[in-house]
Structure 1
Amino acid sequence: MSSFEIEGGRFLKGELEPQGAKNEALQVICAVLLTNESVTISNIPDIIDVNSLIDLLGCLGVDIDRHTRHECTFKAENIDLTYLQSADFKKRASSLRGSIMIMGPLLARFGKAYFPKPGGDKIGRRRLDTHFIGFEKLGAKFVFNPDEIFYTVEAQHLKGTYMLLDEASVTGTANIVMAAVLTPGTTTIYNAACEPYVQQLCRMLVSMGAKINGIGSNLLTIEGVSELGGCRHTILPDMIEIGSFIGLAAMTGSEITIKNCRVDQLGIIPFAFSRMGIQMDIINDDIHIPAQDHYEIDSFIDGSVMTIADAPWPGLTPDLLSVFLVVATQAKGSVLIHQKMFESRLFFVDKLIDMGARIILCDPHRASVNGLNRETPLRAQIMSSPDIRAGVALLIAAMSAQGKSVIHNIEQIDRGYQNIDARLNKIGANIRRI
């Protein structure tokens, strides 16, 4: 197990380039299974979760030409479906939640798909009903083996249909869309997720020959086609990493410029940080955060305490709530952080309380933060990263704290952030991997 040793309280200055979006990469890489032609994907983040998915596709029979660490050409011409029943597949797939999205393409192209119970972050209930109900609506038969915790979907004939998703699941929407593009007839998906990741997936599928209307909305209409071809696709910058860098600049009082952000795809993220009192200048497609000695949280018009809550897109992504919570600890004022989607994602606040933060965990979904206004810096601590997003939030807290902190289990951070220590050290951080 690796750890980060962080010397906090350092002023950072320089430019950071965001990596490719992890959540988009997991979707579009699964989509290469929909065709036997070559698909080239650029701006792939070099992180554990994405590399594990690429390795899994290689074991499944996909021919992979890795031009660089950030660009690959995939050719899914000779798929070995027997591999899906192997112990190696069960081990690899169960450790990576995003690989659940191979099921839609395999079902559409080969009429069958198998999958073990997926792993991933332990952040609360993350049910898969949306995926399988969608497959059943298209005509597939779903079987669950409780002894092996193994899922099977099979269909001799799929047929387009209308469906109302029980929740606007991003991965559920992606899986169903990928199944529907090769399904005869018209499929209408209402209450679809419309995050930029899903929009990018749909645009990639259209470039492969799919017929999808309503991209960017929660109502998708798909006319099934008989086959898809190859394409080239470029992944967006990772908006979660961009938000993490904004929070880092504020917490450390640093001056950072985030380059090539695709600001048009960030939704309300910049506005939400501005409500925390963080100044930002958007220059073309870059975000410049000037050094600020203090930042003050807004209140509502009636003077009541500000609430920062997650919501389905175009609302605030839940992946950034951990960063907002940490940023609030050194702000002036109070805020209620309301994590609606996952009931275990706020459980890392005990570590921040040990560092001196004034936080009351109201219940599994809500935390009240009374900012210290930099009057008292956070204290260095020895901690362990519970998941990807809490891990980077703790890293930000440690970089603002006085003294030397240690974060264990940083494999969790590496799952979502490529070479984060080396990149931050280049602009003045002191992070040592041990």
Structure 2
Amino acid sequence: MKAVLIVVLLYQINRIVSMNCDVEPKNTEAVLRKKLLCNKYDKSERPVKSHTDAVIVNLHMVLQNFNFVDSLQKLYINVWLLLTWKDEFLNWNPMEYAEIKELVIDSEDIWLPDMMPYSAYYSNNLDASCTTPKCLLASSGLVKCVPACEYHSLCRSDYSNWPFDRQNCTLRFGMWAEHSNEVDFIANGTSLGSEDTNSHNEWNIVSTAVQKHESPLADSSNTYPSVIFNYILERHSGSHCAIILTPAFIMVAINIISLWLNCCSLERLVMLGSNVIIHFLFIENLYWQVPFNGSTTPSFLTFFRDSLVITASLLVLTVFIKHIYLSDSEAPVAVSGIINTLTGNQLGQKLFGTNLDQDNARIGAFNESTAGENSADTVILVGENLPEPKKTAGKSGTYKSLALMIDRILYIGITVTYVLFLVSLIPKRS
């Protein structure tokens, strides 16, 4: 890390330029630099004395800052690439050169690994710190270069768990021409430059990984080495919890509470009708928040779509159940048989048996209290006037029992359905 800081500070110093072998050196450092770089040094040759030896390049990536753009599925990163290798032609005895153990040299004057981004590309604004960085040369021949570059990389986006989604972004670097027998990599990992690196206002890096990969060559036993850096980004979702999760639970609660009301009440129709409109408005608002790209549909959209279908169905079924309850005709024998079958066991008696008569009496009292009011709103919503108490008093209660039974089954079924929806469709933080 000390060497890295030295190199970074030296980036600000402009007094060191590319080596000019025709200029007479004026100090010991200049003499040493001329001796190393002007004495038949060929920067196009690999810095090994034996052609069978491979140059081993150690690579470490330090992430300084980043940005992820949803609409492009693209990760923008600013990184320092810590490259270290040994140049066998650039070494000296410090005792012969005034105890000089290190030199800052221009990367244009020495051999550099021909490393290129495979799955990423450079920014359009390339500066000298990336293309021609300064390097630190030790007396042992160890070279340390820290190019500061900006890369763009496409990411594999999966929005099914939005707004708790994660993005998988990969950057792959490797040699453009040399194979592993000539230049090989050792991946030393990746790290964050500081605590502020991960302080993005929308995304957070939750994990990083690095691995080496060998790509085989056709008709050869050699391979091309490459290093793969992987970043997992997670969306900050605190605000989304407040503006999405809370309304979701409220709309579910409205449906459940409305089913608890008796099937003939006007309040139940009003609540379900209002909830249909609320679903439409909320889905339209949610549409503008969800990313438009990606092949997966956010489970939130699936949840609200299905909830809208359920709410509209409940509205229709409520009108249907009310018509059954207010029916004046005698029920067929088959209907009576179905009711007796469902209430003829212990479970059926707990669900329907003893409470049906009480519900009949309660809703009958409700009808008697509202029949004389002749509400115009009820006529429009239901499609018929409430019957007079005297007219229905002598009729069979079979249809009424069937209506209450259907209503109770509907309440249980919708409650269980919403529980399953909340478990399977509501996204959760990983």
If the TM-score is normalised by the length of the shorter chain, which range does it land in?
under 0.3
**Higher RCO, 1 vs 2 (CA within 8 Å, ≥6 residues apart):** 1
Question: Please, what TM-score do these two structures have when normalized by structure 2?
Answer: 0.20
Question: Please, what TM-score do these two structures have when normalized by structure 1?
Answer: 0.20
Larger Rg: 2
Structure 1 or 2: larger helix share? 2
